[in-house]
Structures are given as C-alpha cells and as structure tokens.
C-alpha cells in the first residue's frame, strides 16, 4: 500500500517540478503577499498579530487550489479513470496526493516562516518544528478539501470560482484582520464552524504566546476532525465499480 502511495506522491512531485513556472509562482506568490502585508502594516504589534494568520491562510489557500486543480485535471484528462481501473486503491490515491502536496506545503511554510521572522521581523516565541507540524495539519485539510470540491467542478474556470465561496468567507471570519470575539454574535457563531478559525487560533498560540502543540489540543482536534471527514467524503467520490 505504501509503495503505491509513494508512487503517486512521486509522480505529483515530478509533475510540479517539471512545470517550472508553477514552481516559481509557488515560492514567489506567498512572498509577494507576505511583503505586501509587511509593508502595508506599519505598526509592529498589528503585524505580529496578522502575520501568523497569513501563514495559515496561505497554506490553506494554495493547498486547496493546487490539489483542486490537479485533481480536476486527473478527472477531466481521464487519468483518474485509468488509475481506478488499475490495482491502486482510493486510499492510495488520496494518500499519494496528501504526501505529494504536503511536501510543497512544508516547503512553502518554511520559506514563508523565515521570511516573516528574518525579513519582516515578526515576533516569534515558539518552536519551528511545532509550527511545521501544525501547518501540515492545515495542509492535510486543504488537500482533502481540494479533492472533495473538485468533484463539483467540470473545468479549471469553475474550480477557481470555488475560491470566493470556500476560502474567502473563511479568510474574513477566521480572525485574520479582526478578532473573532469582536465580531457580531451571529458571525462569531458562523466562525466557530469554519476550520480556518481554528487554524489561525492555533498558529497564533504557537507563534505569539509560545504555547506548544499540547496546549492547542482543541484546535488540532477540530482541524483533524474536519480533515478526516473531508478525507472520507473525498474517498467516497472515488468509486470503483460505481453503478451509475
């Protein structure tokens, strides 16, 4: 089983590496966004508050977009059908995607993290490995969300339309710019159902308050629960021997 997961992950990595423009964009775009955030927020305290959230938001955004479009192409080009007729299981496919894209998520996290800390001088009181582990959890969520949502899109244009529907509301309600506690009560209620809220809370606790992974068990639990649920839903969309 692991052999097949590695085979699929390996293929995804090669696909991305061979697409040099995508590779450059994967590194450059988060840095450009982080730079804009850094330059547009002159107040250090405010930047310290927003920067960790940017880290969580960008991993969710890119993980969702890259996986969603890759998986959509896998469906529309017929390669998924070919894979489903082969000995690989749906778990191998989802597992391969997770592993392949998480590698890029970790890479993005590290580049962004060092840029935020050493170039934009964002305050940091935690440990890097804990931040990477937490970002991997957000990455898993993003990959599962991307696979699942790709079922509802027929082409790349439609997939991009899901960003304003799936990602933007979470960005505005997760506490990226404004604390959730200061929002109207009904918005706080909605925010509690959005996974990114827990991602932002968790990463702030790790980076700003110097807490450890054990201190943010609730955030990790909610994100893992969402990821597991989406993974099951994503697997259900990959049916071999479907009767219609």
Residues at the contact surface with other proteins, assessed by CB under 8 A: 3-4, 7, 11, 14-15, 18-19, 77-79, 81-89, 240-244
Question: Is residue 227 a contact partner of residue 140, using CB atoms and an 8 Å limit?
Answer: yes
Instruction: Choose between 184 and 241: whose C-beta lies nearer to other proteins.
Output: 241
Least distance to other proteins, CB of residue 189, Å: 39
Instruction: Choose between 84 and 190: whose C-beta lies nearer to other proteins.
Output: 84
Tokens of 13: 């990595």
Q: Which residues contact 92 (CB under 8 A, 6 or more apart)?
A: 1, 4, 5, 8
Instruction: Choose between 75 and 128: whose C-beta lies nearer to other proteins.
Output: 75
Instruction: Choose between 6 and 178: whose C-beta lies nearer to other proteins.
Output: 6
Contacts of 162-165 with C-beta under 8 Å, sequence gap 24+, read 162/68, 163/61, 163/64, 163/65
Least distance to other proteins, CB of residue 234, Å: 18
Least distance to other proteins, CB of residue 159, Å: 17
Least distance to other proteins, CB of residue 184, Å: 44
Least distance to other proteins, CB of residue 147, Å: 17
3-state secondary structure of 185: helix
Least distance to other proteins, CB of residue 152, Å: 18
Please provide residue 183's backbone torsions phi and psi, each rounded to the nearest 5 degrees: -85, 160
Instruction: Choose between 81 and 156: whose C-beta lies nearer to other proteins.
Output: 81
Question: Is residue 54 a contact partner of residue 175, using CB atoms and an 8 Å limit?
Answer: no
Tokens of 190: 């909605």
Cα–Cα distance list, 3 to 94, 100, 137, 139 (Å): 13, 13, 23, 22
Instruction: Choose between 76 and 211: whose C-beta lies nearer to other proteins.
Output: 76
Task: Give the Cα separation of 185 and 187 in Å (integer).
Answer: 5
């Amino acid at each position: 089983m692991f052999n097949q997961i590695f085979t699929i992950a390996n293929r995804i990595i090669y696909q991305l590496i061979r697409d040099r423009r995508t590779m450059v964009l994967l590194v450059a775009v988060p840095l450009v966004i982080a730079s804009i955030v850094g330059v547009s927020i002159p107040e250090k305290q405010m930047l310290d508050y927003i920067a960790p959230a940017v880290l969580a938001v960008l991993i969710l955004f890119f993980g969702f977009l890259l996986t969603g479009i890759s998986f959509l192409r896998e469906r529309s080009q017929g390669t998924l059908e070919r894979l489903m007729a082969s000995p690989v299981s749906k778990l191998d496919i989802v597992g391969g995607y997770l592993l392949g894209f998480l590698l890029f998520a970790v890479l993005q996290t590290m580049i962004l993290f060092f840029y935020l800390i050493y170039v934009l001088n964002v305050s940091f009181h935690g440990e890097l490995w804990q931040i990477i582990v937490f970002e991997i959890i957000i990455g898993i969520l993003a990959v599962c969300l991307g696979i699942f949502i790709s079922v509802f899109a027929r082409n790349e244009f439609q997939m991009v339309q899901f960003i304003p529907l799936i990602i933007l509301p979470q960005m505005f309600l997760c506490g990226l710019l404004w604390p959730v506690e200061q929002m109207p009560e009904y918005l706080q209620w909605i925010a509690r159902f959005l996974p990114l809220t827990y991602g932002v809370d968790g990463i702030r606790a790790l980076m700003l308050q110097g807490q450890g992974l054990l201190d943010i068990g609730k955030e990790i639990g909610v994100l893992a629960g969402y990821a597991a649920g989406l993974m099951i839903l994503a697997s259900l969309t990959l049916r071999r021997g479907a009767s219609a």
